[in-house]
Amino acid sequence: MKKIIKNGTLITATDTLKADILVEGEVICDVGQDITISDAEVIDATGMLVMPGGVDPHVHLELPMFGTVSSDDHYTGHRAAAFGGTTTCIDFISQDHATLAEDVAAWHDKADAKAAIDFSFHMNITRFDEQIAAELPTLPGNGISSIKVFTAYNNRLRLDDGGIFKVMRIAREAGLLTMVHAENGDVIDILVNEALAAGRTKPIDHALTRPAWGAVEAVLRASSLAASAMAPLYIVHMNVAGEVDQLEYARQHGIQVMGETCPQYLFFTDDQLGQTDGAKWVCSPPLRKNEDNVRLWQGIQNGTIQVIGTDHCPFFYNGSKSILFEGQAVAIPGKELGRGDFTKIPNGLPGIEDRLPVMWTHGVRTGRITPNQFVALNCTNPAKIFGLHPRKGTLTKGADADIAIWDPDKKVDYGVAVAHMRTDYNLYEGWKLTGMPVTVLLRGKVIVENGSWLGRRGEGKFIYRSTHNPIL
C-alpha cells in the first residue's frame, strides 16, 4: 500500500521545506511537491512538521542490576519510545558468557520476539584477553559496529588503560567505534568506602563520592588513549562542564572524538538528590551543578557535542507497590532496595519517551537550538555515527519510512500518568510541554496515531550497522 504524507513542513538536519513524502512499502520512494497517486492512502499533515523518527543510541532494556532488572524490556521500552517519536534504539550487550558470540545470542533471545521498533546493539567489553581480542573483529558480521569500555566500576566492568588501548587498536582495524564511560574508578572506590565508614548513606552521597574532576580527567585520558591508538572515540552521557572543555580541546587537536549528553544533565542538578525522594534521581554518572547544565548547552549549540541520547535505564521508585500497565498489575523491585544505603540503589533513570518532547519544548521553543539542530542531534547524527545512515535518521529517497509527524502546538501536562514507560515516576512530572508527535510510522506502518498504540511486539527489526563510519 502506498502512502502520501501531504501538506506538511519537512524538517531535516539541514533543510526546512514544504514537500510531500511518498511511501511505498517500507521505504520513502519520493520527496517532492504536490505528489498525487490515485490509489495511495493520504495522510494530511497540514499545520504539522514532518521529521525522521528519532534514533536513541543509548538505552539499557531489561538490564540486570543489584538483584533486580531495569523495568522496561524490549517491548515496553520500544513502545514508550514510539510514543515519544523515536523509531530506532541501540541497547548494550553485557559480557556475561565465555564468548562474544554467546553474549550476542543471549541478547537476541531477550530482544527479538519483543522488539516493537527497530533496534541494534553495542557490545560492552568488560573482560579482555587473547580470546576476546580474536573475537572483536567478528562483531561486524553480527551487525555490531560499536563497543563500550569503562574507566570506572573496578573489579566489575573496568579495563585498565592498557586493556582499553589494546581494544581501541583492534577496533580501529575492524572499523568499530569505541565508546567510553568516563569516570575515575579508583577515586570513586576510596570515597565510597570512606562515606560508608562515616555513616554517610543518603542519595546525595552517590554524587559526592563520584567527583566531577574524575570525569574530566577520564575524558582527557580516554582521548589521549584514542589519539595514541589512532582510533575514533565517543564519550557517552557527558554531565560535567569540564568534560566539554576536554572534548573541545581534543577535537581542536585533531583527535577523532565525539560526545553525547542526555536531557537529565541539561535540566536537573544534585539538588534533586538532596530531596526526600532523592533515590529517584540516582544515576551514573550523577547529576551535577547548574554551571554544568549551562556548559553542556553551550557544547550542544556550538557543535562540540554531536548527540543527545537518553541512557534510559528505568527502575521503580517503590517496587513493593504495583502499577497498572496495559491492564495488568506490575511490580518490579527498584530503588527501594537502596533505602538506607546509596550503594544499593539501582543506578538509572527513565527517559526514552521524554527525550524528543522535552528537547523540543525546552530546546527549540526556547531558542537554544533550531529545529534543524534538533533533528541532527536526535536523529541524523546518531544514525551517521553508528552506521544506520542513510537508512535511518533522514527523509531522503530510499530511506526507511521512519517518520514522526509532529504537532508543534500540541500542549500536554506531562508526567507519569501521560507517559508510557513501565515505571512509577517521571522526571518531568508536572512539566507543561508544547510540541508532540501525533503520528509515528515505522518502515511505513503507522504504529502511533493520536495517542493510540497500533504497533505490536516482534514487529521491530534488528538493523545490521555499517563499519568505518564518519567522525562528525
pLDDT of residue 1: 82
Comma-separated ranges of CATH 3.20.20.140 domains in the chain:
54-385
Comma-separated ranges of CATH 2.30.40.10 domains in the chain:
2-51+391-453
Instruction: For residue 345, give the nearest of 323, 317, 326, 375 by alpha carbon.
Output: 317
Classify 305 as helix, strand or coil. coil
86, 55 in Cβ contact below 8 A?
yes
For residue 466, give the DSSP letter.
Answer: P
At 313, give phi and psi (nearest 5°). -150, 75
CATH for the 2-51+391-453 domain, from 3.40.720.10, 2.30.40.10, 3.30.450.40, 3.90.1150.10: 2.30.40.10
For CA atoms 418, 424, 430, 436, give the dihedral sign.
Answer: negative
Residue type, position 105, single letter: A
pLDDT of residue 286: 98
Query: Is 410 exposed, middle or buried (CB count within 10 Å of its CB: 0-12, 13-18, 19+)?
Result: middle
Strand partners, 215: none
Rounded to the nearest 5 percent, the helix, strand and coil shares of the chain are: 30, 25, 45
pLDDT by 10-residue block (mean), the chain, 472 residues: 96 98 98 94 98 98 97 98 98 97 98 98 98 98 98 97 98 98 98 98 98 98 98 98 98 98 98 98 98 98 98 98 94 97 98 98 98 98 98 98 98 97 98 98 98 98 98 96
Q: Rounded to the nearest 10 degrees, what angle do helices 241-252 and 290-301 cross at?
A: 30
What is the rounded distance in angstroms from the CA atom of residue 460 to the CA atom of residue 54?
14
pLDDT of residue 189: 98
| Distant-in-sequence, close-in-space partners of 184: CB < 8 Å, separation ≥ 6 | 151, 152, 211, 213, 214, 215, 217, 218
| Distant-in-sequence, close-in-space partners of 325: CB < 8 Å, separation ≥ 6 | 76, 422
CATH for the 54-385 domain, from 3.40.50.620, 2.40.50.140, 3.30.2420.10, 3.20.20.140: 3.20.20.140
For CA atoms 115, 119, 125, 129, give the dihedral sign.
Answer: positive
Instruction: For residue 384, give the nearest of 309, 307, 441 by alpha carbon.
Output: 307
Q: Rounded to the nearest 10 degrees, what angle do helices 241-252 and 212-229 cross at?
A: 20
What is the rounded distance in angstroms from the CA atom of residue 334 to the CA atom of residue 355?
22
Instruction: List strand residue ranges (DSSP E) for 128-253, in order.
Output: 146-150, 177-181, 233-238
Can you count the helices (H) and strands (E) in the chain? 13, 21
pLDDT of residue 468: 98
What is the rounded distance in angstroms from the CA atom of residue 132 to the CA atom of residue 145?
15
